[in-house]
A = this chain, B = another copy of it.
Amino acid sequence: MTGRKECGVVLVGCGTVGGATARVLTEQADHLAGRAAVDLKLRAIVDLDFTHARELGLDEGLFCGKLDQALSGEGVDVVVELVGGTTAAREVVAEALRAGKHVVTANKALLAQHGPELWALARQHGVCIAFEASCAGAIPIISALSGQLAADRVEAIYGIVNGTCNYILTAMTERDQSYADALAAAQQCGLAEADPTLDVAGIDSTHKLAIMAALAFARRVDFEKIHVEGIDRLQLQDIRYGQELGYVIKLLAIARGQAEGLSLRVHPAFISRRHPLAWVSGPFNAVSVYARNSGHTMYYGRGAGGTPTAAAVVADLLTVALGNAQRNFQLLGIWPDRSQQANQLDIEAVRCRYYLRLQVADRPGVLATIAKVLGDRKISIRSVLQHEAAGGSADDSVPIVITTHRALEGNLKAALNVVNTHPTVKAPCVCIRMVDEPAEGLE
């Protein structure tokens, strides 16, 4: 059709997501043309190695070894950065912005660590950055945070944003596998890397949290100050006790406004089996957002994978082609380069509920002693679980599981320091945070 507007796209990095994006743009071009008055036109694919691109049967006429050459071509409006990492990718994005091209990126690490400088650079050159694909794959959480939730006031975010961790925790919970066995299973089905550190230590979730929290609270977030704990030290027996009490373990990326400031943290947490996040299983992701007017909304879907992530990239391309991404970038007040620094709370200032497991001597008065140490620091007990001793433990000790009401983490740590030195306590107390949001159902 003549006269139709075109939006020219240069794609940089043709790996799993890049390849899938190129396929969607070419194979579904007719369908996309029916959906909008602007055509998305793939002008060039930039990479150092085109083996994967060739395997996918992509048009070799689009292959280009040099970014500057691709950028200087005619009718290039937007650059899709799918290189990953924070070194080459940072250069690619900066070069594109300086050349006056909009950028679409899936790069969470880059935005978490260098977002404000890149947003500022984009503004300087009159262009914008779209990044739906950076958080939770196909889930349109960035759209939600910069759409309806930007007109609301977010109070808390709880995200399951790492599919590898969620797969492992689901396997531990449902198959009763140890952490090591569940990790091996995840590696076997391609859901975990040979070196799984970035995922299981919580770093990947922290990147996504930094991006989501910045938009949700319209504050600049210091990525380095986010408290992070991984899933690699979780023990099966705690998962089992949690289940007995009605809770499921998840690795959560949490941003929560408290009176004193903003609490940002990634750690394993127990969540009520009645909360919809508890049912997000296997490699799926979900993000729960609590906002003043909307109340609780949750967004669920595939958090990774070539085609689901490409869906988010193509959606971003369409919002750029329509001009909406630009308007949002100009007119909304939520972007980190315009925001004040968040007052990020230390982990000691967090208030939440806690699950505690103590291995104690099986003799009278032990529970009373522990309860007193906790009570002295304003920590009140909500439930206690102690089974009749099965007998046979080497040191005649028994586990006691305690859940607390909401308490200050600093107070809890002080109490545990005392508890752990008590002669009747045989091993350091295991402590897992609990999410405490109102039940949703018939109550």
Contacts and interface: CB of A to CB of B under 8 A. Distances in A.
Interface of A: 24, 28, 31-32, 34-38, 132, 138-140, 143-144, 147-148, 150-153, 167, 170-171, 174-175, 218, 274, 276, 279-282, 284, 286, 291-302, 305, 307-308, 310-312, 314-315, 317-319, 322-324, 327-328, 330-334, 440-443
A143 B147 contact: yes
Given A36-B150, A297-B302, 4 more contacts: A36-B331, A150-B318, A276-B300, A286-B298
A334 B148 contact: no
A175 to B, nearest CB: 7
A282 B153 CA distance: 25
Contacts of A302: 294-297
A215 to B, nearest CB: 11
Given A167-B442, A299-B299, A315 B147 contact: yes
Given A35-B333, A296-B302, A144 B140 contact: yes
A138 B279 CA distance: 21
A338 to B, nearest CB: 10
Given A35-B333, A314-B151, A319-B147, A297 B441 contact: no
A78 to B, nearest CB: 14
29 contacts: A31-B153, A34-B218, A35-B150, A36-B150, A36-B331, A36-B332, A37-B332, A132-B148, A138-B294, A140-B147, A140-B297, A143-B144, A143-B148, A148-B312, A152-B314, A152-B315, A174-B442, A276-B280, A276-B300, A293-B307, A293-B310, A293-B311, A295-B307, A297-B300, A299-B300, A322-B332, A324-B324, A324-B328, A327-B327
A174 B37 CA distance: 49
B140 A148 contact: yes
B175 A35 contact: no
A138 B143 CA distance: 14
A442 B297 contact: no
A442 B138 contact: no
A328 B327 CA distance: 12
Nearest to A299: B299
B282 A441 contact: yes
Contacts of A218: 34-35
Contacts of A147: 140, 143, 147, 315, 319
Contact of A442 (B140, B282, B333): B282
Contacts of A328: 322, 324
Contacts of A171: 442
B282 A440 contact: yes
A333 B31 CA distance: 10
A148 B311 contact: yes
A177 B307 CA distance: 44
Contact of A138 (B295, B301, B308, B331): B295
A376 to B, nearest CB: 39
A295 B318 CA distance: 18
A322 B171 CA distance: 46
